[in-house]
Amino acid sequence: MRVLVVCSGNKGEASPFVREQCEQLERAGCDVRLFLVRGKGWRGYLSNRSALLEAIQEFQPEIVHAHSGMSALLAGLQRKVPVVATFHGSDVNVPKLRIFTRVAMLLTRAHIVVSNEMKRILKRSELHVIPCAVDTVVFCPADRTQSRQNLGWSSQDKYVLFSSSFSNKVKNAPLAHAAVAALHDSNVHLIELSNKTRTEVAAMLNACDVALMTSFSEGSPQFIKEAMACGTPVVSTRVGDVAEVSANVSGHFLTDFDAAKLANALQEAIDFRAIHHITSGPAVIDSRGLFPAAVASKLVSLYQSVLKR
């Protein structure tokens, strides 16, 4: 099956979760090609229409799979090839972007969201909930001492790995800083996660004491699932599908948007890490249907159902 994947390319390449899903689809037997959208806002996306039509004419895909509401809007404007759309978070959670998603849903054949919370917001029963998979070859438990040595981190200090760049407003870094400051421990360091390769992210997750997410909103955050695959304790606000994914996993602590409560949860997670080497691992990822082969199989089945309509 030939699949043309349409997604933002404003950073020069597709997002890691899109690239990884393309690789998973290829392993499942699909012939996959990427179309990277250049431009921002609805005008920027729609300016790619001619280039997209040329790519479709050249590749002759059977399915177009668009990632994000804006990409789905662009892809849905052509009527030659059926479009499957995946909505990942802000395109549903942010009201001013949600309108573009609703228009895109009118133009596309099948719709995927990455969490049940997004399905609730859109109030559409026919939505398919398919979170992105986790590459458990890259994200798996590794020796913490060796990981710290490789990163040049102290063996004595404590490290809290923040889920993103401090400059990303949605990720709510001020709350993370306030929570770490509330610990009153100069040996606890908050580490920014920015411009790292997948291998580097995995190393940092294995080296840190706790993975911290303080986001205002999320879809199905890969950061949490990748931490789980590495066996790293997690502290998070109750966003996206974090509560669902973390259910019954030891060493995962969910809390409110309160610095004092977050600080208490961080201390619990740090203490937990000192006692337990790992909290979960690839087996938990598999049990939640997040193994790459399982997700790719669901996508291929959905593509096939669309083609039969």
pLDDT per position as a tens digit, 204-221: 999 999 999 999 999 999
Residues 295 and 282 placed together within one structural domain of the fold? no
Residues 120 and 160 placed together within one structural domain of the fold? no
Residue 139 lies in a domain: no
Residues 277 and 154 placed together within one structural domain of the fold? yes
Residues 43 and 105 placed together within one structural domain of the fold? yes
User: Mean of the pLDDT values across residues 184-192?
Assistant: 96
Q: Tokens for 97, please give them.
A: 């972007």
CA distance 202 to 221: 15
Provide the pLDDT confidence category of residue 282 given band limits of 50, 70 and 90. Answer: confident
- Whether pLDDT at 278 is above 90: no
User: Mean of the pLDDT values across residues 175-204?
Assistant: 96
pTM of the model: 0.91
User: Mean of the pLDDT values across residues 3-27?
Assistant: 92
Residues 90 and 182 placed together within one structural domain of the fold? no
Residue 222 lies in a domain: yes
DSSP result, 30-61 = -EEEEEEE--SHHHHHHTTHHHHHHHHHHH--
Residues 149 and 116 placed together within one structural domain of the fold? no
Provide the pLDDT confidence category of residue 279 given band limits of 50, 70 and 90. Answer: low
- Whether pLDDT at 253 is above 90: yes
Q: Which residue has the tokens 């919370």?
A: 117
Strand bridging mode 234-237 / 210-213 = parallel
User: Mean of the pLDDT values across residues 164-176?
Assistant: 96
Provide the pLDDT confidence category of residue 275 given band limits of 50, 70 and 90. Answer: confident
Residue 260 lies in a domain: yes
pLDDT per position as a tens digit, 257-266: 999 999 999 9
Residues 188 and 267 placed together within one structural domain of the fold? yes
Better-scored residue on pLDDT, 276 or 299? 299
Residues 107 and 183 placed together within one structural domain of the fold? no
Closest CA to 117 of 234, 224, 226, 221: 221
pLDDT per position as a tens digit, 17-26: 999 999 999 9
Residues 84 and 158 placed together within one structural domain of the fold? no
Mean pLDDT of the chain: 93
Yes or no: say if 45 and 37 are a contact pair by the CB < 8 Å rule.
Answer: yes
Lowest mean pLDDT across 30-39, 73-82, 276-285, 296-305:
276-285
What is the residue range of 109's domain? 2-133+291-307
Per-residue pLDDT at 84: 98
Residues 71 and 165 placed together within one structural domain of the fold? no
Residue 138 lies in a domain: no
What is the distance of C-alpha 83 from the center of its chain?
21
| Count of structural domains, the chain | 2
CATH of the domain at 9: 3.40.50.2000
Residues 282 and 297 placed together within one structural domain of the fold? no
Residues 129 and 258 placed together within one structural domain of the fold? no
